[in-house]
Structure 1
Amino acid sequence: FAEWGWRIPFWLSLILLIFSVYIRLKLHESPIFQKMKSEGKGSKSPLTDSFFKYPNNKFVLLALLGATAGQGVVWYTGQFYALFFLIITLKLDYISAYTLIGISLLIGTPFFIFFGWLSDKIGRLKIILTGCLIAAVTYFPLFQGLTHYVNPALEEYSAKTPITVAATECLAPWNVPTPCDSARDFVTKAGLSFVTTDGPAGSAPTLTLKHPTASKTVQGYSAATWGAALAESGYPAKADPAKVNWFMTELILVIMVIYVTMVYGPIAAFLVELFPTKIRYTSMSLPYHIGNGWFGGMLPLTATAMVAATGDIYYGLWYPIVVSIMTLIIGAIFLSETKNRDIRTYDHSMLP
């Protein structure tokens, strides 16, 4: 697979590409846009009107911070960070991890339609913000639950074996890892929480394992020697499939995918209804792509860096939690419901 098998999905995607091109060639502009264009009411400078004229630029910023930023981090947490957590932190094998995520997506997919339908009944914004709220409140217990049900041996080892990493000079200049950075990264990727202390100036990183039967200290960082020390202390290098609670693991993953559907199902309709026709797509493109591409896309890297910096395998969850709470507060205070707006005639001047 590593040599050529990975290319197969890309070859198969050519079939989807053909269907995609065919469908796009058959699509027409929306009647609302065609009517606006025929009447000569379109924007002559959509970029200026969208991003440099008040109040539309205010709503572009509010859409980003009060809707799509939270939607982006909830999406990436449920579909991507959960996958990385299973594989990197909990040491579950690739096939099992991808299978679990795939099943959760299959089970959760109908909820995109459900929450889209529900937003037609009760409103878009309240569903999006509720999804952000529930996600922020439950991410810590859900990921702790994954640890408990996927790799109970790792959970037990971590509880019985406090780990300390003593090191200095832990800020990498120009992205060149220092021994301290490498040491922290090693323990983080082992799926273990640890305490960081300052070592003597100029000293090499030191690993201390306080196992109930015997404590061990390893001077100087080496992946081989630190790995051997962990193995000697009973560290479980892989999740044991026989000990995985598959049902509870899948249930947790499905719950997180349902959060994704809550924030994602109504977001397209919300953004469409938030802006007037003449600058609608230009205006909604920035908050959508920045919210998903930056706030969401940076989540795995940012969360992993936060874990390595603090030594807490759950600390990276503060990133999606803080962004979700930010979206909840800004969206609740500064944005209003859009489901009853007439997108054919809406303009910001109609707002009270």
Structure 2
Amino acid sequence: TQNYIPYTNVNGAPGSVANIKLGDKEIASVTGALNDKRDAFSADSKKEIDAFRKSVVDTAKAAGLTVKADNAAMNKPMVLLILVYLVILVTMVYGPIAAMLVEMFPTRIRYTSMSLPYHIGNGWFGGLLPTTAFAMVAATGDIFYGLWYPVVIAAATFVIGMLFIKETKDVDIYAND
């Protein structure tokens, strides 16, 4: 399994081997060579990579860092309650969004006009959230840095909505175009 150890990226000299510094100990990284089939690491490289991982985990443990989540410490009923609450929030938002999208577009293009922005928003921005957040965490080493992605998207959505979405209160949704 993979472990998470908090880290910070520091640029090294160009062409130098990457190092991991935990406390006062520095561990040089390894480069694995693929075997002849080019689909997996060679046996020697695999041993070298495993030894490197073990060295990093052992050093982190010795430094007092947490390297694995403690499932026994997780409050499972609270996690379930939070997830149910989030689902309720999503269902509360969907009704008004659907009504607003119906009022925003003329009947001849309504279906496409409703579907396209809704699915781009949910599919692209929501679907890529885990990948983007993980990349942000990997780039910075801060496990909480990936939370900026949904915060920035929500803020941009709010600003764009306030500036460009018109009031639809008295729009005749049955109008013939």
| Residue identity (%) | 53
SS at match of 1:265: helix
Does 1:199 find its partner at 2:18? no
Does 1:316 find its partner at 2:146? yes
SS at match of 1:341: coil
In 2: Cα distance, 1:277 partner to 1:271 partner? 11
Matching residue of 2:120: 290
**CA contact under 8 A between 2:133 and 2:147: conserved in structure 1?**
yes
Aligned-pair CA distance for 1:234: 4.3
Q: Which has the higher helix share?
A: 1
Aligned-pair CA distance for 1:255: 4.2
Matching residue of 2:25: 216
- Deviations along 1:36-68, one digit per CA (max 9) or x if unpaired, are xxxxxxxxxxxxxxxxxxxxxxxxxxxxxxxxx
| Shift in CA distance, 293/226, structure 1 to aligned 2, threshold 3 Å | same
Letter in 1 for 2:27: V
Count of residue pairs brought into register by the alignment: 156
Aligned-pair CA distance for 1:302: 1.1
Q: How does 1:121-140 map to 2 (within 5 A)?
A: none
114, 133, 147: which one aligns with 1:303: 133
**CA contact under 8 A between 2:105 and 2:113: conserved in structure 1?**
yes
Does 1:244 find its partner at 2:57? no
Matching residue of 1:276: 106
In 2: Cα distance, 1:318 partner to 1:275 partner? 32
Aligned-pair CA distance for 1:191: 3.3
Q: Could you state the TM-score of these two structures normalised by the residue count of structure 1?
A: 0.39
In 2: Cα distance, 1:250 partner to 1:280 partner? 37
Aligned-pair CA distance for 1:218: 1.2
| Shift in CA distance, 272/251, structure 1 to aligned 2, threshold 3 Å | same
Which runs of no fewer than 5 residues in structure 1 stay unpaired? 1-90, 92-188, 348-352
SS at match of 2:174: coil
| Shift in CA distance, 266/191, structure 1 to aligned 2, threshold 3 Å | farther
In 1: Cα distance, 2:98 partner to 2:59 partner? 52
Q: How does 1:108-127 map to 2 (within 5 A)?
A: none
| Shift in CA distance, 307/320, structure 1 to aligned 2, threshold 3 Å | same
Does 1:226 find its partner at 2:39? no
Matching residue of 2:160: 330
Letter in 2 for 1:313: I
In 1: Cα distance, 2:131 partner to 2:17 partner? 26
- Deviations along 1:241-274, one digit per CA (max 9) or x if unpaired, are 3322334433443443344334333222221221
**CA contact under 8 A between 1:192 and 1:313: conserved in structure 2?**
no
SS at match of 1:197: coil
In 2: Cα distance, 1:346 partner to 1:223 partner? 67
In 2: Cα distance, 1:290 partner to 1:241 partner? 36
Matching residue of 1:112: none
Matching residue of 2:3: 190
Matching residue of 1:343: 173
SS at match of 1:330: helix
Which runs of no fewer than 5 residues in structure 2 stay unpaired? 31-51
| Shift in CA distance, 223/346, structure 1 to aligned 2, threshold 3 Å | farther
In 1: Cα distance, 2:88 partner to 2:21 partner? 41
**CA contact under 8 A between 1:307 and 1:315: conserved in structure 2?**
yes
In 2: Cα distance, 1:230 partner to 1:346 partner? 68
Q: How does 1:168-179 map to 2 (within 5 A)?
A: none
Letter in 1 for 2:28: Q
SS at match of 1:217: strand
Structure 1 runs of 4+ aligned residues shifted over 6 Å read: none
Output the aligned Cα RMSD.
2.6
